[in-house]
Amino acid sequence: MEEERFRRALEQADDGIVAGRAMDGDVEAFAVLVRRYTPMMRAYTQRMLNASADVDDIVQESFVTAWQRFGELDDPSKVKSWLMRIVSRKAVDRIRAARPVVDIDSIDRPAPLHASPSAVVEVRAGVAAVGAALRELPDAQRECWVLREIGGYSYEEISEELGIPVSTARGLLARARKYMIVRMEEWR
C-alpha cells in the first residue's frame, strides 16, 4: 500500500524532483521520465525522419544516453529540454548518416534558358564565392548562419537545435553576417 502511494506521488511530482531522483540512480524515477516523455520524443522524431522505422530506436538510444549522462544535467527542472536536445541530435545524426555526401561544387547546374554565358559564369562564381566564404567561417558561426539564412530558423530554434543560449546564437550569427558582408563586398 505504501509503495503504491509512493509510485503515484512520483508520477505526479514535477520534473525537477523526478529528474533529481533519477540522477541519484533511482530507476523508478527514470521510468517515470521515460513514460512521461516518450510520446513527445517519438512525435518529434517522426517529424524529423518522416515516420521512419528508426524512430523507436532513436528514442530508445536517447534514453540510454540520458541515463549514462545524467551527471551532465545542470538543472533537473530542465530535464524536458535536455531530453529533447538529446533526441534531436540523435535524429540529426541518423539523417546525416543516411544521406549520401555530395560535393555541391562538383555539380554543374544547367544554365537558365535566357541567360547569357557571361551571366552564367558570374552567377556560378558568386555561388562559389559564397561557398568558399562559408567554409572559412568557424563551425559554430557557419551552423548559425545556415540555420538562419537558409533554414529560416528563429533565434530560439537555433538556440534549441545547437544547445546554446539565445544570446550566444545572436552573437555567432552577427559575427557570421559581418564576415559574410565583408567577404562578399565585391559581389554587391
pLDDT score, position 107 = 64
Report which of 72, 76, 74, 75 is spatially closest to residue 30, judged by C-alpha positions. Answer: 76
Residue 111 above 60 pLDDT? no
pLDDT score, position 99 = 61
Average pLDDT score over residue span 136-158: 83
Cα gap 51→54, rounded to integer Å: 8
Residue 15 above 80 pLDDT? yes
DSSP-derived letter for residue 70 is: G
Residues 51-87: tens digit of each pLDDT: 678 899 999 999 999 999 988 888 998 899 899 889 9
Cα gap 180→133, rounded to integer Å: 7
Residues 157-184: tens digit of each pLDDT: 889 888 999 999 999 999 999 998 888 8
Domains plus CATH for the chain? 2-98 (1.10.1740.10), 114-187 (1.10.10.10)
Contact between 113 and 70 (Cβ < 8 Å): no
The three cell numbers locating residue 103: 560535393
Cα gap 87→96, rounded to integer Å: 14
Cα gap 41→64, rounded to integer Å: 13
Q: Which amino acid is at 119?
A: A
Q: Using DSSP, state whether 108 is helix, strand or coil.
A: coil
Look at 8 and 106; give whichever has higher pLDDT. Answer: 8
Match 529540454 to its residue by C-alpha cell: 81
Phi/psi region, residue 15 (left: phi>0; alpha: psi -120 to 50; beta: rest), is alpha
Report which of 148, 145, 151 is spatially closest to residue 131, judged by C-alpha positions. Answer: 145
